[in-house]
Structure 1
């Protein structure tokens, strides 16, 4: 049995069992909890807030700033975090400054200042998005070869997102600009807490120009490995329909007649938590391809459920579609982060590679998805009913199904290969 376990670990790029530091796990778990609490506090119901205050036409733009920030921030991460500045010090700076901006945002969520709100939100997200990759880098480097501990720690990020949604819903803030104030308090707390994080080293300097470092040339070189290239392409494409969920799920759930929107959407994170804890075993047992494929199929099924759900007898489809978030997210994005680590480790470019993954998924893919979603939303009435939403959801359902087919026929796991 021990030999079989070691063989499965080698097949998935995960090292065999060794003792771990429980205190370290606790510290990293707290990091992930606060990291995603900050995001979840405002991101989940922002679309509902904007529609409520009369700036629903700007929802697409507001959800485009995150992807744009991912692109800009990923390059900054490749230059700074990967080469010159310790990841934990960047976490301190980015979350403290970001918290100050969050405190200023609620006053701008009005029809008169809507455009200014979007621009300031962009500034905040340029600071926040690199911290997603930084948190992953700190956790993965702290664990060393024991990467199968990462899903357990990352599960506390899901707990943070759930806690944020439940608090926002319980406090009756789902449609209130005060969601940013809640996020601001935790952002400042995380900035201060980051002083205590493990002081993992930046990637070893290489004999290359600053321009090559800024452009993450070493990380992009990993795509010479065919399997990783296919993964990046499909991850980018699946992020297009993903963006539509983040932007329009809250007004859709509200149109279905559900009052506690924040609490309802937290069901998705609860399911995410369940699958997160099973991810190490699933990754060792099945490998990367089945997990990624199931994740993409789940996205297609979720949107199909949204396309038939309503506030009457079809309310079950709305709840089931939300509950599928665990399969949608964990099976693709968490497994994808681990897979990226196994590819990047031999080249010593973990920080760059995680930043590059963020660039393509939360950056390029979600930017396209936000703009496509905005174009589809523009075809709906000013106050769409549940019936108006149905036609819109078929587009991402069909797109996700096509991407799953593309991945099935083009991806072959070669993670044990080292890119030349």
Structure 2
């Protein structure tokens, strides 16, 4: 089995075990559990809390004390085990604590999977800039596959008999509604992924045998020194703001489409019944834009690529604001297509930028820091503020949500972030610096 194929399988299931429940958690909480906007915002905040310390901590452990592939395997097995507990929980408070534990195990693996892939590719003398995006694209395919399986299994009118049978069997065994299947699907494959990771090439710590002259070095905290550099500080700060935008679309995308059922003319529309599949167009779009990253990074550099991402977020939210299942269905579709550029040009390019801008001794830690800012502080900010804002200003008298107003506020937010980033981030593009990642 080739190195590229092994990493492709890793990438596929890394995001499969997240995609099975991430975009449908809102529909599960609002529709199935009856949570309020603030309750859901607090529950979704677990992604941010799990990313505050754990990615950086796990990166430090991988850099200094434990083989990366073994640490990765352990985290996924523990993640899978905790997912099995979630369907039995009804109260938002108890759900919060178990999901928080799950996120403490899962969120670090996103950065760690990148660090492992980069390390293995470099050790095998492969050009990461060229080779990694086609591998990473299979992570998006995995996310899509999980979303489709969840949607088909959870739909009582599924056109696939297999989907009906699987849903009925799981419900009979667990005693819970089919909506909870998302957690069982993710849990099973998370444990299997952990076992599979043990077959990867060994990735011993880069810093294991090196002496330390300070407590910061002994604890592996050198990556935090990057915040003392103006360019890196601004990069990480705006990564946080864009991380908030990403969480907004993860939190509310599927719920927004499902809520068209509250409008009689759209109640039985294709959009309502197959909302998760429609949202998956976003991930299908990712597969195309990921492959374009090497060209854009080398041609335009990180600043312009991130600006493209920010303006794509403006379009993503703005199109959702005006879309509907009939005359303006094309806006919903186009919004999902634009998402691919918005996500990839920020998340994947940002990860590659961190890789090329840091010393190899702290790269796992630096990737963890990037994750902490995006899916940590950014996620918390997006979850709490959006939940409060919706309950406070965008609930209509009949209890439904003013989605056009909600998405328009999000679009204005992304526009303001883009303008300030253009003014404050100073970076002179040098195509040659990207070559260092493959050596």
Kindly tell me the number of residue pairs found equivalent between the two proteins: 392
Identify the residue that residue 132 of structure 2 maps to in structure 1.
Answer: 150
Q: Structure 1 residues 376, 409: CA separation in 2 closer, same or farther (over 3 Å shift)? A: same
Identify the residue that residue 11 of structure 1 maps to in structure 2.
Answer: none
Aligned partner of residue 332 in structure 2, secondary structure? helix
Residue 226 of structure 1 pairs with residue 205 of structure 2 = no
Residue 160 of structure 1 pairs with residue 163 of structure 2 = no
Identify the residue that residue 69 of structure 1 maps to in structure 2.
Answer: 50
Identify the residue that residue 110 of structure 2 maps to in structure 1.
Answer: 132
The separation in 1 between residues aligned to 2:68 and 2:411, in whole angstroms, is 38
Q: For residues 316-355 of structure 1, what are the alpha-carbon distances to aligned partners after superposition, in whole Å with 9 as ceiling and x for unaligned?
A: 22222122111011111111100000001x3521101000
* Alignment check: 8 A CA contact 2:154 2:181 kept: no
Shift of 1:280: 1.6
Which residue among 177, 181, 184 is the counterpart of 1:181? 184
Q: Structure 1 residues 118, 255: CA separation in 2 closer, same or farther (over 3 Å shift)? A: same
Identify the residue that residue 118 of structure 1 maps to in structure 2.
Answer: 96
The separation in 2 between residues aligned to 1:55 and 1:215, in whole angstroms, is 44
Listed as ranges, the gaps of 5+ residues in structure 2 are 157-177, 261-265
Aligned partner of residue 63 in structure 2, secondary structure? coil
The separation in 2 between residues aligned to 1:228 and 1:85, in whole angstroms, is 27
Residue 400 of structure 1 pairs with residue 414 of structure 2 = yes
The separation in 1 between residues aligned to 2:71 and 2:302, in whole angstroms, is 31
When the two chains are superposed, the root-mean-square deviation of aligned CA atoms in Å is 2.3
Residue 83 of structure 1 pairs with residue 86 of structure 2 = no
Q: Structure 1 residues 351, 383: CA separation in 2 closer, same or farther (over 3 Å shift)? A: farther
The separation in 2 between residues aligned to 1:248 and 1:83, in whole angstroms, is 39
Aligned partner of residue 201 in structure 1, secondary structure? coil
The separation in 2 between residues aligned to 1:332 and 1:221, in whole angstroms, is 22
Residue 372 of structure 1 pairs with residue 412 of structure 2 = no
Identify the residue that residue 46 of structure 1 maps to in structure 2.
Answer: 25
Aligned partner of residue 378 in structure 1, secondary structure? helix
Shift of 1:244: 1.2
In the TM superposition, what are the counterparts of 1:11-410 in structure 2 within 5 Å? 23-57=2-36, 58-108=39-89, 110=90, 113-144=91-122, 146-148=127-129, 149-172=131-154, 176-205=179-208, 206-208=210-212, 212=216, 217-256=221-260, 257=266, 258=271, 259-344=273-358, 346=359, 348-379=361-392, 380-381=395-396, 385=400, 388-410=402-424
Q: Structure 1 residues 85, 250: CA separation in 2 closer, same or farther (over 3 Å shift)? A: same
Aligned partner of residue 202 in structure 1, secondary structure? coil
Listed as ranges, the gaps of 5+ residues in structure 1 are 1-21
* Alignment check: 8 A CA contact 2:56 2:366 kept: no
- Higher mean alpha-carbon deviation, 353-362 vs 162-171, is at 162-171
The separation in 2 between residues aligned to 1:56 and 1:157, in whole angstroms, is 31
* Alignment check: 8 A CA contact 1:68 1:367 kept: yes
Q: Structure 1 residues 260, 276: CA separation in 2 closer, same or farther (over 3 Å shift)? A: same
Q: Structure 1 residues 98, 410: CA separation in 2 closer, same or farther (over 3 Å shift)? A: same
Shift of 1:207: 3.8
The separation in 2 between residues aligned to 1:181 and 1:287, in whole angstroms, is 41
- Higher mean alpha-carbon deviation, 355-364 vs 371-380, is at 371-380
The separation in 2 between residues aligned to 1:162 and 1:210, in whole angstroms, is 46
- TM-score for the superposition, normalised by structure 2: 0.84
Which runs of 4 or more aligned residues in structure 1 lie more than 4 Å from their structure 2 counterparts after TM superposition? 213-216, 381-386, 414-418
The separation in 1 between residues aligned to 2:128 and 2:420, in whole angstroms, is 28
Aligned partner of residue 176 in structure 1, secondary structure? helix
* Alignment check: 8 A CA contact 1:253 1:261 kept: yes
